[in-house]
Chains A and B, each alone.
Chain A
């Protein structure tokens, strides 16, 4: 029966792996959707139409927007801290926190760092390459799970029980 467990372990690893890739891709799409109308602009870029001057660069947008963004950032931070007080399962906690953090990152990049108001070709040059490079770092995680399977047995009982810090 042992091979069933190996198969399940493999399935779980593969699931986590693809989940990370798909989740990452989904977050990237969300980032693109928030930061700008990327699809339309990739088409425009391929047609060579992005040479048109000031495609939204320095559009007139008021300061009021920035206060709203600031308030939203504070709100999301409070929400994250609140999650730490209600004890969620670790994985749900991780996914929620990362989701909120990506949202906050998109707000900061889009509004504070002005990416929403730059030329679309600028955003396309900078963001996708960075995101893909960072996502590729996911390759290390299956090994982390594998080594955990070895190391857990090495943790002495009394330590595993009192692992609660200060």
Chain B
């Protein structure tokens, strides 16, 4: 098997590598590079590597938050309104993950228009999430609950701590950045997929990114919001 064929870049490369019956592919066994030991498209593997590094980044942020929380007296600043908003945001994000699955499914079945529609709906879900989250942020900012505030300073809502809002804005801001980038990614992808520039595998890879953003929120939401809820 030639080098090019061994690293075949097509989505259909899950098929047996050779027609030599049961024997390993020409080029040898698992360790000779003649087979596809991971059975995945190179783009997919690349996105997974990005997800691995990004998940460690988010983990570091959440561990840092947990560390300062553990070593300080921590307030519970999120009341009913914040919890309802963030729950709605969670539902929107989860539902946009479902539409992303539908987009990948449609793309794999070569239903191009349907795939474009579902991808755009996913982007819309992300947009709603960003808008809701921005409203949530503005409420906090209007109350002068900022990272650089002096510890113990009085605000409309009583005393505050810089660490609380430093970690809050760092973790949710990093996540919001990912959602915003994701919305742009999905819109560009959907438009170019419509033009025939991208293939089903590209939708699938974008889907991996989108589900990962969803996955991160599944940790940010309980740890930041629900652990500091005062209802």
Count of B residues near A, CB < 8 Å?
76
Q: Are B102 and A63 in contact (CB under 8 A)?
A: yes
Q: Are A48 and B29 in contact (CB under 8 A)?
A: yes
Mark interface residues in A147-158 (1 if CB within 8 Å of B CB, else 0): 110011001100
Interface of B is mostly: helix
Note all chain A residues with C-beta closer than 8 A to B25. Answer: 51
B66 within 8 Å of A (CB atoms): yes
A54, A67, A126: the one within 8 Å of B14 (CB)? A54
Instruction: Count how many pairs of residues, one from A and one from B, have CB atoms less than 8 Å apart in the complex.
Output: 188
Note all chain B residues with C-beta closer than 8 A to A126. Answer: 48, 52
With known contacts A109-B215, A164-B75, A70–B98 Cβ distance under 8 A: yes
B66, B71, B143: the one within 8 Å of A166 (CB)? B143
Note all chain B residues with C-beta closer than 8 A to A74. Answer: 91, 94
B63 within 8 Å of A (CB atoms): yes
With known contacts A51-B24, A53-B15, A113-B212, A101–B219 Cβ distance under 8 A: yes
Interface residues of B in 65-93 (CB under 8 A from A): 66-68, 70-79, 83, 87, 90-91
| B positions within 8 Å CB-CB of A | 14-17, 24-25, 29-31, 35-40, 45, 48, 52, 55-56, 59-60, 63, 66-68, 70-79, 83, 87, 90-91, 94-95, 97-98, 100-102, 105, 143, 145, 152, 155-160, 204, 207-208, 211-212, 214-215, 218-219, 221-223, 225-231
- Among the 9-residue stretches A4-12, A30-38, A91-99, the one with 4 or more Cβ atoms under 8 Å from chain B is A91-99
Q: Are A162 and B56 in contact (CB under 8 A)?
A: no
**Cα of A130 to Cα of B39 in the assembled complex, Å:** 20
28 example contacts (A-B, Cβ-Cβ < 8 A) are as follows A48-B31, A51-B29, A57-B39, A63-B102, A66-B98, A66-B101, A66-B102, A73-B97, A78-B87, A83-B226, A84-B229, A93-B226, A94-B227, A100-B222, A108-B97, A112-B101, A112-B211, A113-B207, A119-B37, A121-B37, A145-B70, A145-B71, A148-B71, A159-B152, A163-B73, A164-B158, A165-B157, A166-B156
Note all chain B residues with C-beta closer than 8 A to A155. Answer: 73
